[in-house]
A and B are shown apart, each in its own frame.
Chain A
Amino acid sequence: EAGVVQSPRYKIIEKKQPVAFWCNPISGHNTLYWYLQNLGQGPELLIRYENEEAVDDSQLPKDRFSAERLKGVDSTLKIQPAELGDSAVYLCASSRLTGSNTGELFFGEGSRLTVL
Chain B
Amino acid sequence: AQSVTQLDSHVSVSEGTPVLLRCNYSSSYSPSLFWYVQHPNKGLQLLLKYTSAATLVKGINGFEAEFKKSETSFHLTKPSAHMSDAAEYFCVVSDQSYNTDKLIFGTGTRLQVFP
Residues of A at the B interface (CB closer than 8 Å) are 3-4, 40-45, 48, 56, 91, 93, 99-110
Find chain B residues with CB under 8 A from A4 CB: 43
Find chain A residues with CB under 8 A from B101 CB: 99-101
For the A-B complex, the count of residue pairs with Cβ-Cβ distances under 8 Å equals: 60
Q: By the criterion CB–CB under 8 Å, are B43 and A108 in contact?
A: yes
Please report whether the interface of chain A is mostly helix, strand, loop or mixed according to DSSP: loop
B7 within 8 A of A: no
Q: By the criterion CB–CB under 8 Å, are B44 and A43 in contact?
A: yes
A104–B83 Cα distance when bound, in Å, is: 25
Find chain B residues with CB under 8 A from A48 CB: 102
Mask, B39-51, CB within 8 Å of A = 1, is: 0011111100101
CB B110 to nearest CB in A, in angstroms, measures 9
Q: Out of B32, B42, B108, which one reaches A42, CB within 8 Å?
A: B108
Least CB separation from B42: chain A residue: A109
Q: Out of B46, B49, B103, B108, which one reaches A45, CB within 8 Å?
A: B103
Find chain A residues with CB under 8 A from B112 CB: none
Partner-binding segment picked from B13-21, B71-79, B90-98: B90-98
Find chain A residues with CB under 8 A from B102 CB: 45, 48, 56, 100
Q: Out of B44, B92, B107, which one reaches A40, CB within 8 Å?
A: B107
A93–B45 Cα distance when bound, in Å, is: 10
B100 within 8 A of A: yes
A3–B46 Cα distance when bound, in Å, is: 14
A43-B44, A110-B43 given; A103·B51 CB < 8 A: yes
A14–B52 Cα distance when bound, in Å, is: 48
A100-B101, A100-B102, A103-B51 given; A41·B107 CB < 8 A: yes
Q: By the criterion CB–CB under 8 Å, are A101 and B32 in contact?
A: yes
